[in-house]
Structure 1
């Protein structure tokens, strides 16, 4: 869906807030929040703005991309939701498959969020604009989360999307893989026991990660699974297991970023 810049600015009107308006439901869900994938979550009297109904297992995916992001920082792949039986929905609302993410962020004056997304959520495919990647993650995964539906934002179609990005960036900051590993002496440029890396992340964050490696045995991604109490925006996470899943060998390589940049050290 295309929102022209002019119509964006007109639609923004006299807004003075920098960024999206928070969901009105977040403050109205009560003190006793319902956990996703619980029996109570599927009760008919529970509002889907206050608990994820159906797809209540969440996965925070972070990249160790050798060719994107800062040397001392993992980057974001996305925030995904699975059904409670382990299968997952995708592309749940074609009417909200927005492609002009940057334009919407500018129109909503979410400049700080946009800058953070450019820093920590680059297009790791190496081709195309960041909007392509952001649009893909929102359309495929964000539209399937009930907490971000327009009805939770006075039927505004864009605020939920911005909250999805904002929530994902906050979770990425909260679960800083690089700093967690460094505190235990695990730094790029060396090989480590896969189980050691998993145990460190579990000790730091309470979630046993699914580590993903490439065919060269290098770690490229972490997946962390959890349930959520209340709206996703509040980030009240309840860790859940993943059956010790990993496709890495017993020993993995934690590579340096930008391995070929020293080939021409006088380029600048």
Structure 2
């Protein structure tokens, strides 16, 4: 399956946490149904379906490198059908290509500045990258459909989506988690899959993350979640990956960024 911060004590993530801004989404009261765990299989504004698993995905680009040398970068937030399959490009009428303009109109300049540093395209075209992630994955998250909003404003869900992805990314500092376990970028050292998985499980409440490798070099991490409520202000529960990591069991390279 293919889906195109300083020294100190590493804070561990909890199994259940809330992140993001308070959106104008319809209230989900007394909603205890965890996505991917209902037999009714009916989407509502409080139940993510069919994309019930949500993946916060990250890149480690080294040649050319992207983002700071001491941080991974954002890939996106992807809905998965709870079985390793996924839908894509679900609403062409909302496949906006002017993400920067939308965020500026919503007054989200701080968010935009952060994205320009940590959500970066390997070819330097951030705008197209953001539009791709929104159009392919964001439009498939049913709980942020415009019909799920109270007093909906045009493109409101776009800003909420990008803010949510950034907030999740900030709570999952892959670089620090690996460094705390002695796993640092090196042109000569190699690491085992089990050691990397163990290190990242500490920021994912004991759940493993999917690890992606290219020619034996670590370059992707996907953190899987199930959600109670909507995707913006719902409760995210860490879950096991739905697909097997593509890295070898040993000899994994973690190359330094070229800058």
Residue pairs, 1:34-183, within 5 angstroms: 34-39=33-38, 42=41, 48-66=44-62, 67-124=65-122, 126-127=123-124, 129-153=125-149, 154-183=151-180
Hey, which of these two has a bigger chunk of helix by percent?
A: 1
Which gives a bigger RCO, structure 1 or 2 (Cα 8 Å, sep 6+)? 2
For structure 1, list consecutive stretches of 5 or more residues without a partner in the other structure. Answer: 1-19, 262-268
Question: TM-score if structure 2 supplies the norm length?
Answer: 0.83
Q: Distance in 2 between matches of 1:157 and 1:79?
A: 21
Q: Distance in 2 between matches of 1:21 and 1:30?
A: 15
- Displacement of 1:52 after TM fit? 0.7
Q: Distance in 2 between matches of 1:58 and 1:245?
A: 16
Question: TM-score if structure 1 supplies the norm length?
Answer: 0.81
Considering only aligned residues, what root-mean-square deviation do their CA atoms show, in Å?
Answer: 1.9
Counterpart residue number, 1:211: 211
Contact 1:89 1:144 in 2 (8 A): yes
The structure with the larger Rg is 1
In the superposition, relative to structure 1, how do residues 21 and 244 fare at CA in structure 2: closer, same or farther (>3 Å)? closer
- Displacement of 1:244 after TM fit? 7.2
Counterpart residue number, 2:23: 22
Contact 1:41 1:53 in 2 (8 A): no
For structure 2, list consecutive stretches of 5 or more residues without a partner in the other structure. Answer: 1-20
Counterpart residue number, 1:264: none
Contact 1:96 1:157 in 2 (8 A): no
- Displacement of 1:59 after TM fit? 1.3
Residue pairs, 1:223-234, within 5 angstroms: 223-234=222-233
- Displacement of 1:21 after TM fit? 7.7
Q: Distance in 2 between matches of 1:84 and 1:243?
A: 7
Q: Distance in 1 between matches of 2:40 and 2:175?
A: 34
